[in-house]
Amino acid sequence: MSRQEDMAECAEMIRHGSLSFHAASRLLPKSVREPALALYAFCRLADDAVDLQSEKAAAVLQLQDRLARVYEGRPRNAAPDRAFAAVVEETRMPRALPDALLEGLAWDAMGRRYASLSDVKSYSARVASAVGAMMSVLMGVRDADALARACDLGVAMQLTNIARDIGEDALEGRLYLPTDWLDEAGIDPEAFLANPRPTKAIRLLTRRLVMEANRLYYRSEPGIAALPRAARPGIFAARLIYAGIGGKVAESGYDSISSRAHTSKGQKLAWIGQAGFMAGFSMLTPRAATLYARPLPEVAFLVDAAAIGARGRSRADGLIEALTQLARSDQERRARLMDDVSRAS
């Protein structure tokens, strides 16, 4: 298949898999939009490979092989792999960034829980900020301050996703709220998962998550203003659309269990229009001091990996450890199943 055919297939994947990003991507210049679609298509493929398969350990190990082949220049014969391999080659994408994403997916496959908000941010750094750092690299932005703000935006988006999906995740046995928050509120995690209800305590925790996301959305804005001018409207649009999802959660009284927050096409169009104004305004104002804020501790390794001249620690050790734990937990699960079968017979 030609590169254009690969890109068309990637665009179609995003159109069905991520309406928010698809809407925002239409504002990006073609030079950024096409590699961004390739990047998001590969990330979407990776996320679905783990989320939609029962054999999650095998799915993550298969993704590790696919990523290795991308970096070896012999991608699997599939549009997202070929398109992402071209992006990796053209932008010299640091391997530590997609490795971090894969590590986060391994954590998901293990059903990992998070004791503190910092732990939730560490997870968000891997599954969302890593993508933001990769987006910056493909735009040619390797400045550490701009990368730190891109990572702020990624964490904010993931916190919004978590706040929106509390009920849906609970039905799947997944829990991303910090367990120390649950302890403080007197909520037993297992009891909540067995019977998720939008109690006042749960809604207050959801509000805390949305408020933290909003703080990071505002902190990310100077970083968007540091991007190439033509790319700013699309990234401002993504920031506004995701923050708008948090706004819908707030409108529901922070009840993400009775229903899942949705934004309308009209609202997305309004935010896209606002993004154009914000991008234009950013050219007329001096850079905000928050551009130079230190990166969140949880994302510092991503900034180090992507910034020019930085010597970031490779994430290979973290990824190998996560994959080892995943394989061990999968073996234990299989052993328990065999014991159950033996006892039943």
Q: What pLDDT does residue 337 have? A: 61
pLDDT above 90: residue 301? yes
Tokens 């970083």 belong to: 223
d(CA 206, CA 211): 9
Q: Which of 10-14, 40-44, 111-115, 227-231 has the highest mean pLDDT?
A: 111-115
d(CA 69, CA 304): 24
Q: What is the pLDDT of residues 85-115, one digit of tens each?
A: 999 999 999 999 999 999 999 999 889 999 9
Q: Which residue has the higher pLDDT, 103 or 47?
A: 103
Cα→Cα distances 217→60, 133, 264, Å? 30, 16, 21
Q: What is the pLDDT of residues 165-178, one digit of tens each?
A: 999 999 999 999 99
d(CA 32, CA 12): 17
Q: What pLDDT does residue 68 have? A: 94
Q: What pLDDT does residue 289 have? A: 86
Determine the average pLDDT of the residues in 276-286: 82
Q: By the 8 A CB rule, do 261 and 249 touch?
A: yes
Determine the average pLDDT of the residues in 183-190: 97
What domains, with CATH codes, occur in the chain? 94-316+325-344 (1.10.600.10)
146: closest CA among 38, 35, 302, 276? 302
Q: Which long-range contacts (CB under 8 A, 24 or more apart) does 199-207 make?
A: 202/166, 202/257, 203/253, 203/254, 203/255, 204/254, 205/177, 205/181, 206/163, 206/166, 206/249, 206/254, 206/255, 206/256, 207/250, 207/254
Determine the average pLDDT of the residues in 205-234: 95
Neighbours of 221 (CB within 10 A): 20
pLDDT above 50: residue 313? no
CA 201 remoteness from chain centre: 26
Tell which phi-psi region holds residue 31, choosing left (phi > 0), alpha (psi between -120 and 50) or beta: alpha
313: closest CA among 296, 300, 297, 324? 300
Q: What pLDDT does residue 327 have? A: 67
Confidence of residue 156 (pLDDT cuts 50, 70, 90): very high
Q: What is the pLDDT of residues 113-127, one digit of tens each?
A: 999 999 999 999 999
